[in-house]
Amino acid sequence: MPEEMVSFFTGAWSGAGAFADGRPIEADLEIESVLDGRFLRYRHSTRDPLTWDGLWIWGVDPASGDFIANVFDNRGLAREFESAGWRDDRLVLVTTYHSASADARTFERFTYEKTSQDSFRMTFERSRDGIEWRLGDYLDFERRED
């Protein structure tokens, strides 16, 4: 894991933003380095009314060198995202999965972009083809001093 990325993300964060339709969204994050600094464990807790909770593990696959992120959520979903890693103060995670309700592929993308030493923007987008993306929501996070 890149030390710059680990030191930036480690800690407690609170964020506010909006869904694509303008409804507000707020969330809290707890991010810590685990397993001798090889991975980041990231707990994402969205506040009411959505109440989405996810547990992420971010790390680098030592065999391939690829950045991998796995997320498990309170809806029973487990997804694996891939990334080129932390570059130019950005992390872009992308996954593809098949919907259970329709035999259709869906792409999801999370972008984490550092906006200052103590803030970043997280953007969630979806796509049917991996080319044209539609905003799901965004949150602007600030470091908390807990």
**What are the structural domain ranges in the chain?**
3-143
Segments of the chain scoring below 50 in pLDDT: none
Fold of 3-143: Lipocalin (2.40.128)
Give the pLDDT score at 130: 87
H/E stretch holding 119: strand 119-127
Give the pLDDT score at 137: 96
∠ CA 81-84-87, rounded to 5°: 125
Q: Name the 3-class secondary structure at 6.
A: helix
Give the pLDDT score at 55: 98
Global pTM exceeds 0.85: yes
Per-residue pLDDT tens for 37-73?
899 999 999 997 778 899 999 999 889 888 999 999 9
Give the pLDDT score at 98: 59
